[in-house]
Chain A
Amino acid sequence: MSKERKIKVLVCKPGLDGHDRGAKVLARTLRDAGMEVIYTGIHQTPEDIVNTVIQEDPDAVMLSILSGSHNALCPVIMDKLKEHNIDDVLVAVGGIIPDEDKPLLEKHGLKGFYGPGTELKTIVEFVKNNLKR
């Protein structure tokens, strides 16, 4: 692997959820861990996110959802990624994800599920250890 290689991460806020303090803290943390972090801002549609993934070609996508609409949004994002044959990108979701929702999201290929109180270094390690390429 070339020494120029950097882990590139996309941090997104899907849906009608304006609370992005967590996403910004995460973006800053991953930056400080030596990664190149793109933050898309709030109110992203699944289509916007998938198009950004296509153009930016990140190694990982971190979805931050606090609005409770993860069951509606995440599977759509995963399906659209599949439509474009994107299977080598780690997709994680975090925020407020109740335990009972995790199996469904896992079935769609999502990982992570970190919520409030998670130590930041746990998430950094998670990203480093779960990359698909």
Chain B
Amino acid sequence: MDYSDLIEKLLEGNTRAAARLITLAENNIDVAEKIINSIYKNTGNAYILGITGAPGTGKSTFISTLIKIFIGQGKKIGIICVDPTSPLTGGALLGDRIRMKEYFSLENVFIRSMANRGQLGGLARATDDAIKILDAYGCDIIIVETVGVGQSDVDIFKSAHTVVVLLVPGLGDDIQAIKAGIMEITDIFVVNKMDLDSADRKVAEIMQMLELNETFKYDSEEIPLDFAKIKDWTPEIIKVNSRTGENFDLLLEKISKHKEFLEKTGIISNYLKNRIKTETLQILKHKLTKKIEELLNSNEVIEKYINEVMEKSLDPYSMANLIIKMLENKF
């Protein structure tokens, strides 16, 4: 199938073409490859803002308020909302749009719901593809709302420039704030629903955690590549009310501050390098897994190895090493 017509329209800013290309990329990874192939040189202009947090922390309402502000600045905005796919039926209920009703018919707002289709980590397999398509479509800002995440769903940190983690008062104590995972790699903490009683306490807990970070600076040599961008940045923290928009002016200042930080320190290019690496790794994993699966299911030598493992004259680790040798010879 030829996608050049759709891609041409996408680059002209055609909304339907953007939507259809996202569908195609979502439904077939080989098609996604072809699409990204032709639009890649047109990407890289959008600022990508990741919004994550536990279910019910108010991510969608928060985004809705952000949309309002960005529209006021004359920006073209893409929003990708990821919700979970049922592990039992494969179905999904995508309900994030409901909170963004006011903006359905605005020319500069493109909202797309995505099911994660079983992918762990808070995003869908095709979320990165959708980001690139909306980038090429001409969005200035792309907001990605993750699945209502747990403590270790950290994929968004590899896809977004700035990651905002939403917290709410009354959910978890100070131990939660010093746990590993999402709390370690946040750029900006937002305590939403600031009108609730214990909002200040939540802010204090996070501040305490951040002060400890100051004493224990990460050793930059030791940080895994994916997360190298956090070094030298002390996460900001702010309480807001997404319903009334209270404190959003301050929040936007903090987002700009983080953006400037990335640009000024050159971390943004580091970040890009890392992003390219992790993304390529992801693609390689997918492609190699497919190849290896094909090999495992259709090779007589492997049948022989399997029998040897069954007879205990070989173990699975050794068999894996032998298969790697076979693959190396193929390349």
Contact = CB atoms under 8 A, between A and B. Distances in A.
Interface of A: 2, 4-6, 8, 27-28, 30-41, 43-45, 47-48, 51-52, 54-57, 84, 86
Contact of A55 (B19, B27, B91, B94): B19
B90 A34 contact: yes
A62 to B, nearest CB: 13
A19 B118 CA distance: 32
A41 B98 contact: yes
B117 A55 contact: no
Tell me the interface secondary structure of chain B in the complex.
Answer: mixed
Contacts of B105: 45, 47-48, 51
B91 A40 contact: no
B278 interface: no
A56 B27 contact: no
B97 A38 contact: yes
Contacts, number: 91
A54 B104 CA distance: 10
Given A4-B29, A55-B111, A57-B23, A33 B91 contact: yes
Interface string B100-124: 0100110000111101010000000
27 contacts: A2-B28, A4-B26, A6-B92, A28-B93, A31-B86, A31-B92, A32-B91, A33-B89, A35-B91, A36-B91, A36-B94, A37-B91, A39-B93, A39-B94, A39-B98, A40-B97, A41-B97, A41-B101, A43-B101, A47-B105, A48-B101, A55-B112, A56-B113, A57-B16, A57-B22, A57-B23, A86-B16
Interface of B: 15-16, 19-20, 22-23, 26-29, 85-86, 89-95, 97-98, 101, 104-105, 110-113, 115, 117
Contact of A36 (B92, B101, B111): B92
A56 B19 contact: yes
A30 B115 CA distance: 14
Contacts of B86: 31-32
Contact of B93 (A2, A31, A84): A31
A4 B93 contact: no
B193 to A, nearest CB: 21
Contact of B94 (A38, A44, A45, A86): A38
Contacts of A44: 101, 104
Contacts of A86: 16
Contacts of A56: 19, 111-113
A4 B28 contact: yes
> Which 10 A-B residue pairings sit nearest by Cβ, starting from the closest?
A41-B98, A31-B91, A57-B19, A48-B104, A2-B28, A38-B94, A34-B90, A57-B23, A34-B91, A5-B27
A88 B110 CA distance: 21
A84 B15 CA distance: 11
Contacts of B92: 6, 31, 35-37
Contacts of A51: 104-105
Contact of B90 (A2, A6, A28, A48): A6
B277 to A, nearest CB: 25
B94 A52 contact: no
A38 B97 CA distance: 8
Contacts of B94: 36-39
B15 A54 contact: yes
A102 B28 CA distance: 38
Contacts of B23: 8, 57
B93 A27 contact: yes
A95 to B, nearest CB: 19
Contact of A54 (B16, B27, B29, B115): B16
Nearest to B125: A4
B79 to A, nearest CB: 9
Nearest to B21: A57
Contacts of B115: 6, 36
A56 B96 CA distance: 12
Contacts of A34: 89-91
A57 B89 contact: no
